[in-house]
Amino acid sequence: METRAPFVVVGAFVLAAIAAVFGFVYWLHNTGGLGPRATYHIQFDGSVPGLLVGAAVLFNGIRVGEVTDLALASDNPRGVNATISVATLTPVRSDTKVGLDFQGLTGVPVIALEGGKLLANSGAVPTLIAEPGAGEGMTQAARDALRRVDSVLAENAEPLKDTIANLQVFSEGLARNTGKLDGIVAGLERMTGGGASAEPKITYDLQAARGFAPPTKTIKGQLAIPEPTAIAMLETQRFLFSPATEVPGFANALWADSIPKLIQARLVESFENYDIAHAPLRAADVGQTDFQLLIDVRYFRIAQDSGPTAEIGLSVRILDKNGKVVASRVFDETQAFDKIEPVAAVAAFNDAFGRIAKGIIAWTVETL
């Protein structure tokens, strides 16, 4: 015998279970859960846009309850009465501040409570009074601010009109006296050292020694030439004179690099022109070498006492890898020229340096 399922009983049970679940969720959301609750009344003097029953109640930023009731105040056309239910441990005091806050991207309104200064309750907490403007939205606040700005502009319309008129008169006066103002500005530039842009600098290079015969003897071992040492006055790109003076025509003339670095680069190039297969390297390019050619720049100047003369003086020492001085010598050369001008001076320096470089190379090859 087939037994029919009690469909009516099963359906009724399912509907009752669904209703119970929805009821529990609604109760949990609107009454705050399972813990003991305390109820407080709040009075708003103004609108509370968007506030709904079930909205969250925050205390110092922490959710402690929900709004359980909202109603218009019967004795105040502007007022709104709200009832909230919060956890009993929430330290609500009679001086607790009440406001309306907006959360999330959609600006969901919530009631925000901030703790008061009273440390303990003195009886039941009376009805909490929200701060004036607590329910004011951001849009309304912007309208009020613009209204105040408009009021200030309206009150000062005449002074603003006079100020604009004065600016117009001032600008017209500037336009009429543009020529005079340009003259004044040009005079100030000349007085302060400004004015026309500075003349471009002209850079001159030092030539390495050339014209060597095929080498009959090569350098033994690895040789390095560190950057030459010199006094601070020689660490410059400017042309130096003896006695030290400012010579017209050399104000914008510069060497391609500081004098010690220029001597190092061109001396290495001179060794390469003699025998590139055994030419020395700069000390920064290699580690430990067999020998080092140490150079101290004594002078690199133009003498003016008895006609312009390019003078170069170098003190040279050869050290082995243990730091012992193998040989030392002073090399100096001079070259006279006719006219004190950069081109002639550079040609004289090239001649003098070429002789010094060839002498250093011959002496180094013979020593090593």
Q: What CATH number corresponds to the domain at position 56?
A: 2.40.30
Ranges 65-69, 167-171, 218-222, 281-285: which has the least confidence: 281-285
Identify which has the larger pLDDT, 348 or 211.
348
Asked if the structure places residue 192 within a domain, the reply is no
Whether residues 210 and 330 fall in one domain:
yes
Asked if the structure places residue 282 within a domain, the reply is yes
Asked if the structure places residue 285 within a domain, the reply is yes
Whether residues 90 and 236 fall in one domain:
no
Give, in order, the Cα–Cα distances in Å from 89 to each of 36, 86, 98, 181: 9, 8, 18, 77
- Residue 5, pLDDT > 70, answer no
Q: Please report the pLDDT score of residue 13 as a whole number.
A: 74
Asked if the structure places residue 158 within a domain, the reply is no
Asked if the structure places residue 352 within a domain, the reply is yes
Mind listing the pLDDT tens digit for each residue in 223-277? Answer: 899 999 999 999 999 999 988 888 888 988 999 999 999 999 999 999 999 988 8
Whether residues 209 and 349 fall in one domain:
yes
Q: Please report the pLDDT score of residue 358 as a whole number.
A: 93
Mind listing the pLDDT tens digit for each residue in 143-157? Answer: 666 778 878 888 888
Asked if the structure places residue 181 within a domain, the reply is no
Of the pLDDT bands very low, low, confident and very high (cuts 50, 70, 90), residue 104 is low
Of the pLDDT bands very low, low, confident and very high (cuts 50, 70, 90), residue 112 is confident
**243 upstream amide cis, omega within 30 of 0:** yes
Residue 153 has, within 13 A of its CA and on its CB side, a CA count of 6
- Residue 2, pLDDT > 50, answer no
Q: Please report the pLDDT score of residue 107 as a whole number.
A: 67
- Residue 35, pLDDT > 60, answer yes
CATH number at residue 314: 3.40.50.10610
Identify which has the larger pLDDT, 352 or 14.
352
Give 294's strand partners. Answer: 317
Q: Please report the pLDDT score of residue 215 as a whole number.
A: 83
Whether residues 357 and 250 fall in one domain:
yes
- Give the count of beta carbons closer than 10 Å to the beta carbon of residue 90: 19
Domain final residue pick, 133, 160, 189 = 133
Domain final residue pick, 106, 133, 160 = 133
Ranges 129-133, 151-155, 164-168, 270-274: which has the least confidence: 129-133
Q: Please report the pLDDT score of residue 143 as a whole number.
A: 64
Asked if the structure places residue 22 within a domain, the reply is no
Domain of residue 86 covers 36-116+125-133
Whether this prediction's pTM lies above 0.85 is answered by no
Whether residues 349 and 209 fall in one domain:
yes
Total structural domains in the chain?
2
Residue 112's nearest CA partner among 69, 148, 65 is 65
Whether residues 129 and 208 fall in one domain:
no
Whether residues 303 and 207 fall in one domain:
yes
Of the pLDDT bands very low, low, confident and very high (cuts 50, 70, 90), residue 1 is very low
Residue 25 φ then ψ, to 5°: -60, -45
Whether residues 217 and 340 fall in one domain:
yes
**Mean pLDDT to the nearest integer, 342-367:** 94
Asked if the structure places residue 26 within a domain, the reply is no
Whether residues 224 and 353 fall in one domain:
yes
Whether residues 112 and 208 fall in one domain:
no
Q: Please report the pLDDT score of residue 170 as a whole number.
A: 81
Ranges 63-77, 89-103, 349-363: which has the least confidence: 89-103
Whether residues 86 and 221 fall in one domain:
no
Distance separating alpha carbons of residues 301 and 314, to the nearest angstrom = 12
Whether residues 212 and 301 fall in one domain:
yes
Distance separating alpha carbons of residues 352 and 333, to the nearest angstrom = 5
Residue 342's nearest CA partner among 207, 238, 197 is 238
Mind listing the pLDDT tens digit for each residue in 66-85? Answer: 999 988 888 888 888 889 88
- Residue 352, pLDDT > 60, answer yes
Distance separating alpha carbons of residues 29 and 37, to the nearest angstrom = 13
**Mean pLDDT to the nearest integer, 113-127:** 68
